[in-house]
Structure 1
Amino acid sequence: MTVLTSRALNRAALARQMLLERTDLPVYDAVAHLCGMQAQEPQEPSIGLWSRLRAFDPAGLDDLVTERRLVRTHLMRRTIHLVTADDAVAWRARHDPMLHQRVMGVYRSELDGVDLEELTAAAYAQLADGEPRTMSDLGRSMLERWPSSTQRALGELVAAVLVPMVQLPPRGLWRAKGGARMVPIASWLGREVDPPAPDGTDPVGETLALRYLAAYGPATVADLRAWCGLAGLPGAVKAVREQLVTFRDEHGRELVDLPNAPRPDPDTPAPVRFLPAFENAILGYQDRSRIIDDADRNLSIAGARVVLVDGRVTATWTVDADTVIVTPLRGLSRSERTAVTEEGHELAAFLSDKESDRVKIA
């Protein structure tokens, strides 16, 4: 069986993630290809798309959100993701058990004695007027009935688990500020989420496996689970096994992939790319060593914005007074500093509402 080196996996991931070369894909198609973008930090998807798409205009993303073609909702790993409306409807029920398990794992003691069916009915009654609610609003309204619980626990259980919800604009619009006001998916999109398959099969799991590999592969089943947080995925992969090819990584682990997906030459040059906080190109794997050193792994879960140099996390970046400030994690060569500075100039101009292309490498 062919062994793929870490560098080969890196170049494959960059190609699938549109980080090896910017693409002309429409914004909607790019978000769909990526299986959504992590978006608990509302502005970050725009940065991620700027690094992937030629001539990206945030106004186009804003239009897709206000037109209800893209939505912000709890999905993978219990985090807010920006996904297509079609994927939100198709995937949500498959995520329900994971969402329930993770929220109950955090708030089990606060939710002891809360009847979930009764809470669900109360929440839907509260939301029947169609008015948007915050998570705090929902928790506060339920607290009188369940005073031994907490506002936060009740609010998150309702908003992330019991009632499939979307966060409304202006939350997530470019350079706009807005709290996380929510309404049920059904009222925002005019359609209910798809129910689970009645025959015990897992068509959504199979679709997720294939879509994940298109955007992240080659990968292990453990990588797939790390990305979405779902159980039962070995069975889904087994069901589509005849559509896949297999490899080994340098540690002997089996990797699965789509047969005709890009796997570039490991020596393919990789440009500098600035990535947003909580970037799925990093978080989408159990073994992230293809793109980030183990010593720096915690940066990706701490919300650091990072810079890829030769395809790997090599620096972090922030913005201060219209200046992009880059902090290297190791020494940069002269040519690397030049490439980082040039891409940083472009990023500064994109981010600033003034004329600015200022970059500082700390």
Structure 2
Amino acid sequence: MRSLSADEVRWLRVRAQGLAGDGAGVSGEPASRAVAAAVRTAAALQAQAAGPVRLQVWARTRGLRAADVDAAVAEAAVVRTWLMRGTIHMVAADDLRAFLAVLGPVNLRADRRRREQLELGDSVCARAMDALAKILAGDRVLTRAEIVAELAGHGVVIDLKSQQPPHLLAFAANSALICRGPDAARDEPTYVLLDDWLEPAALPDRETALTRLAERYFAAYGPATTADLAAWSGLPAADAKAAAVLVRDSLEEVEHDGQRLLLPRGAGAGAEATPMPPQNPHRLLARFDPYLLGHRSRDLILAPAFAKRVNAGGGMIAQTMLADGRIVGTWKPNLLEPFEDLLPDLPPAAAEAWQREMDSAAAF
């Protein structure tokens, strides 16, 4: 078994995430295909807010614009729905049903108590499902407020200003009835019937779905453990182990700091010779970037002393500065905020590289 240094593990994860500075461009292919490829590279992008997910795509591509991400959504090349950890994610359209087959039941079970607290019991949810199928039929695309208003006409009365609508919509999404559609004005979410938005198809069987999820995860986040897979996906530990077993023959085992990690066979080739990408080791990451969300612990990439600068609480993940696979600061438009203890004096070459990143993000 090969032993990898911390630098090698970080480099392999940076490269797997499409953050090595060689992201896919748009030359010779539709922009929507490049967007889908970038999303697939990360397995999934956290997408509860439109702005950050656009920038997550930017970090993994070249030559795109924010409008290209919106177009990929409108063309259903990528789709958003509740998936990993019960949170809205953007995934490639051809991955959606496999991920949903595995994670939908997990999310439904996890949210059951909260639904009951909100008076969304089984009978209410069943009536809402029937009503939603009628309300959204015929390729209709409706906002949350429009759906709530029309549900009332079908005898399902819920309070728009409460937590009832998002939990009811999440129930329908995790039941494979609906998904997010293209955003309305000012990035307001809309919802559509899944089988109208994509070509109708049955959910794959559990083994096929678990295999797809595990393949995507280890390709995007390896070297990683099955505990990391569970933390990223929200799967129970036993299911994460079962998923890893299904793809074990395609994975290589390596050792780091006394821990055994898995990654796709051949993915580690050359890691020892090039511990970090020399062409562009300084990158800027969006809020909620999956590089920070793919493993049970962030300690390898983010020193615990600075953790609250990145995640102050409430699930918010700041925009971050990446150097040689480590998080070394946060940023805002036209403002770099390096962690003083790590970078007391910002090297001119690094400052220039990050400035190019800011200019590129602004152009995007």
Amino acid across the alignment from 2:200 = R
Which one of the candidate residues 301, 318, 333 is aligned to 1:291? 301
Residue 122 of structure 1 corresponds to 131
Query: Within 5 Å, which residues of 2 pair with 1:249-328?
Result: 249-250=256-257, 252-262=258-268, 264-265=271-272, 267-268=275-276, 269=278, 271-298=281-308, 299-300=310-311, 301-319=315-333, 324-328=334-338
Residue 165 of structure 2 corresponds to 155
The verdict on how the C-alpha distance between 1:224 and 1:211 changes in structure 2, with shifts beyond 3 A counting, is same
**How far apart are residue 137 of structure 1 and its match?**
4.2
Q: Distance in 1 between matches of 2:128 and 2:74?
A: 30
Query: Within 5 Å, which residues of 2 pair with 1:129-278?
Result: 130-139=139-148, 142=151, 145=155, 152-163=162-173, 164=176, 165-170=178-183, 177-192=186-201, 194-197=202-205, 201-231=206-236, 232-250=239-257, 252-262=258-268, 264-265=271-272, 267-268=275-276, 269=278, 271-278=281-288
The verdict on how the C-alpha distance between 1:255 and 1:196 changes in structure 2, with shifts beyond 3 A counting, is same
Amino acid across the alignment from 2:316 = A
Contact 2:148–2:157 (Cα < 8 Å) also in 1: no
**How far apart are residue 169 of structure 1 and its match?**
2.4
Are residues 1:4 and 2:4 paired? yes
The verdict on how the C-alpha distance between 1:166 and 1:118 changes in structure 2, with shifts beyond 3 A counting, is closer
Amino acid across the alignment from 1:351 = A
Amino acid across the alignment from 2:233 = C
SS at match of 1:235: helix
Contact 1:138–1:158 (Cα < 8 Å) also in 2: no
**How far apart are residue 352 of structure 1 and its match?**
5.5
Task: Report which stretch shifted further, 210-219 or 240-249.
Answer: 240-249
The verdict on how the C-alpha distance between 1:139 and 1:3 changes in structure 2, with shifts beyond 3 A counting, is farther
Amino acid across the alignment from 1:255 = L
The verdict on how the C-alpha distance between 1:43 and 1:142 changes in structure 2, with shifts beyond 3 A counting, is same
**How far apart are residue 18 of structure 1 and its match?**
1.8
SS at match of 1:289: coil
**How far apart are residue 60 of structure 1 and its match?**
3.5
SS at match of 1:82: strand
| TM-score, normalised by the number of residues in structure 2 | 0.82
**How far apart are residue 284 of structure 1 and its match?**
1.0
Q: Distance in 2 between matches of 1:297 and 1:102?
A: 27
Contact 1:291–1:313 (Cα < 8 Å) also in 2: yes
Q: Distance in 1 between matches of 2:81 and 2:353?
A: 35
Q: Distance in 2 between matches of 1:81 and 1:62?
A: 14
Q: Which has the higher contact order (CA 8 A, sep 6+)?
A: 2
| TM-score, normalised by the number of residues in structure 1 | 0.82
SS at match of 2:50: coil
Contact 1:37–1:280 (Cα < 8 Å) also in 2: yes
Q: Which runs of 5+ in 1 are unaligned?
A: 354-362
The verdict on how the C-alpha distance between 1:204 and 1:98 changes in structure 2, with shifts beyond 3 A counting, is same
**How far apart are residue 283 of structure 1 and its match?**
0.5
Residue 95 of structure 1 corresponds to 103
Q: Distance in 2 between matches of 1:59 and 1:153?
A: 31
Q: CA RMSD in A?
A: 2.8
Residue 21 of structure 1 corresponds to 21
Contact 1:71–1:88 (Cα < 8 Å) also in 2: yes
Q: Distance in 2 between matches of 1:182 and 1:210?
A: 29
The verdict on how the C-alpha distance between 1:113 and 1:58 changes in structure 2, with shifts beyond 3 A counting, is closer
Residue 48 of structure 2 corresponds to 40
Percent of residue pairs bearing the same amino acid type:
27
Query: Within 5 Å, which residues of 2 pair with 1:99-110?
Result: 99-110=107-118
Q: Which runs of 5+ in 2 are unaligned?
A: 26-33
Amino acid across the alignment from 1:234 = K
